[in-house]
Amino acid sequence: MESVEVTGIVLSSMPVGEADRRLLLLTRELGKISAFARGARKPTSTLVSSTRPFAFGKFHIFPGRNSYSVHRTEIQEYFEPLVMDISKSAYGCYFLELSGMFARENTDESETLLLLYYSLKALLNERIPDTLVQRIFELKLLQLNGLLPEFSVCGRCRREITEGIFKPGLMQVVCADCAGEDTSGFPLSKSALFALNHLRAAAPNKLYTFMLTDEVFREVADLTEFLLNRSLDRPPVSREMLTIFTE
């Protein structure tokens, strides 16, 4: 049986038996897959470091009936500075879990993998607030899964919009004229809408190129939280740890 080479990242790793590990991988070619790394917990194993969360690179795997087996890896990035920082590690673990919740098996997940990779890289950039990286990552992940609304035109009159109110019932933003006296929903300023439209159009490696004022960030964050909660069946377990650093 020939092995298959995939490019991916370890989303989670758990001990199995006396010396093995069960991995959840996000791969470009096969989507989300489970894989066993035999003997990976033995100190002498070549798979010790490459089967930990955040390890990114090439994995040579053998297909099995219900899962795969890892027999060789070529790791390009371990994200060690992120792992060594408890706060950034909490954000990173949240990104890993959220990616796994949206990813599917036997699909091309190249865009999600790129988003995750560049978002973890952004966490290491001290010039970008971690909270902003989080919200950008969440919004782009929603878009990749067809869950991010349009923000360029009014949902009622269909004219181009520069500022307005996002209506949860309509799941679109409406202009001030169409909203009238109904101010319920999520107000979005010109700067907030510009950021949201920029995010929709940007490639993963071009996402983290802007900053937001505190006021605009709150607008974007409130909307993101609503959209994310609406899209998930359950909250990610890692969010509980993340709240320690965001509240």
Q: What is the mean pLDDT of the chain?
A: 95
The number of angstroms, rounded, from the C-alpha of 209 to the middle of its chain's C-alpha atoms is 17
Which domain does 88 fall in, by range? 81-149+181-246
Looking at 78, 99, 119, which one is the last position of a domain? Answer: 78
Is the pTM for the entire model greater than 0.85?
yes
Q: Domain count of the chain?
A: 2
Distance, in Å, from the CA atom of 156 to the CA atom of 148, rounded to the nearest integer, reads: 18
Same domain, 100 and 130: yes
Same domain, 121 and 189: yes
Same domain, 126 and 205: yes
24-78 confidence digits (pLDDT tens) = 999 999 999 999 999 999 989 999 999 999 999 999 999 988 889 999 999 999 9
Same domain, 31 and 98: no
> In the numeric block, which tokens belong to residue 138?
């969440």
pLDDT at 1: 63
Same domain, 40 and 57: yes
Do residues 86 and 109 lie in contact, with contact meaning Cβ atoms separated by under 8 Å?
no
Same domain, 8 and 64: yes
Percent of the chain with pLDDT over 90: 90
Please indicate, yes or no, if residue 176 is contained in any of the structural domains. no
Distance, in Å, from the CA atom of 70 to the CA atom of 60, rounded to the nearest integer, reads: 6
Same domain, 50 and 109: no
Whether residue 236 has pLDDT greater than 70: yes
Same domain, 90 and 190: yes
150-172 confidence digits (pLDDT tens) = 999 999 999 999 999 999 999 99
Same domain, 94 and 193: yes
Whether residue 89 has pLDDT greater than 90: yes
Same domain, 57 and 117: no
pLDDT at 246: 67
